[in-house]
Amino acid sequence: MGGILKGMGKEGREAVEKLTSSTDPIDTTSLIKMQVLALERDKSLRLSRLKTISKRIDHLERAYRVSEMPLLKEDYSVQQGRDRVEWEVRGKEMKEEERKIWEEEMATKARLARMRDDWEDRWVALFHSCGIQRPLLFLPSENPPSSNAKAKNLLSVGKKLSAKSNLKSPNVLPKYLNIKLKSELLLNVRPLVFLKLKPKKRLLGNAKSKLALRRSKRRGNRGRKKRKNKGRRRRERGSRGRKKRRRKKRGGKKGRKRDRRRWSRRDYKGRERKKQRRGGLREH
């Protein structure tokens, strides 16, 4: 009874006290019904209180948002200032790195410029040794692509500049021409070094074809020797064929089979190999 009263609310307890004060007897079923009703009332009260609390929280959040809207702009401005400072620092570091790389490249360019005269002298000497009076390294292609109009213009500019500098051939580009222009001019060119060589200095492909021709001739000679050997072998087999015929007369079918097995072409080659190893054939 005490546990049931503890689970009830205030209203349930008051009702139980009224019932106990009266002289009427109390059933357990009626007590359970009263407890259930009291619990449902407590639940409804709690739900209503929770709804009112949630509404108050929403009103407070909206008020905070309205008050924080102007503060957001200030926060964004502070963040932009920090980002700008970081960006400037990184930009300075990148500029310093690029400057160092540029200085290194210029130093290598100066070293290569000092070496260029020696390189040109050596190049000309090599061509003179091959029998070339003037090293014509490159020649513009006869049919440049029609779509590449820029390349055509560059080629015409190179020819004009070479004519102004009184060069014997328009193929050699002048030294004062821009490096980028040179590289673009030489896109549509083909090498002409091998055309100016002496007749003794033949092309690699020609040499390869001649070598192949020699090998084929050697193979032909080997074939003739083989044919001669074949004739000699046939003559040798003729004498052995007589022996076979004699054996056939003596041995009949068994002898014929034995001779076929013994004097086949494969066995004959094997016997020749044994002859080379041992130095002679046994007589049968």
**224-257 pLDDT, tens digit each:** 545 555 555 555 555 555 555 555 555 555 545 4
C-alpha to C-alpha distances, 111 to 107, 108, 116, 121, 185, nearest whole angstrom = 6, 5, 9, 17, 25
- What is the model's pLDDT at position 149? 62
- What is the model's pLDDT at position 220? 60
Given a contact cutoff of 8 angstroms between Cβ atoms, the answer to whether 174 and 182 are in contact is no
Q: What would the DSSP string read from start to end of the chain?
A: -HHHHHHS-HHHHHHHHHHHHSSS---HHHHHHHHHHHHHHHHHHHHHHHHHHHHHHHHHHHHHHHHHHHHHHHHHHHHHHHHHHHHHHHHHHHHHHHHHHHHHHHHHHHHHHHHHHHHHHHHHHHHHHTT-SS---EEE-SS--SS-HHHHHHHHHHHHHHHHTT-S-TTSPPTTS-HHHHHHHGGGEEE-GGGGS-TTS--HHHHHHHHHHHHHHHHHHHHHHHHHHHHHHHHHHHHHHHHHHHHHHHHTHHHHHHHHHHT-HHHHHHHHHHHHHHSSPPP-
- What is the model's pLDDT at position 196? 43
- What is the model's pLDDT at position 268? 62
Given a contact cutoff of 8 angstroms between Cβ atoms, the answer to whether 172 and 137 are in contact is yes
- What is the model's pLDDT at position 31? 82
- What is the model's pLDDT at position 93? 94
- What is the model's pLDDT at position 5? 55
- What is the model's pLDDT at position 197? 43
Segments of the chain scoring below 70 in pLDDT = 1-26, 130-209, 219-269, 279-284
pLDDT in tens, 26-72: 678 888 888 888 899 999 999 999 999 999 898 888 888 888 888 88
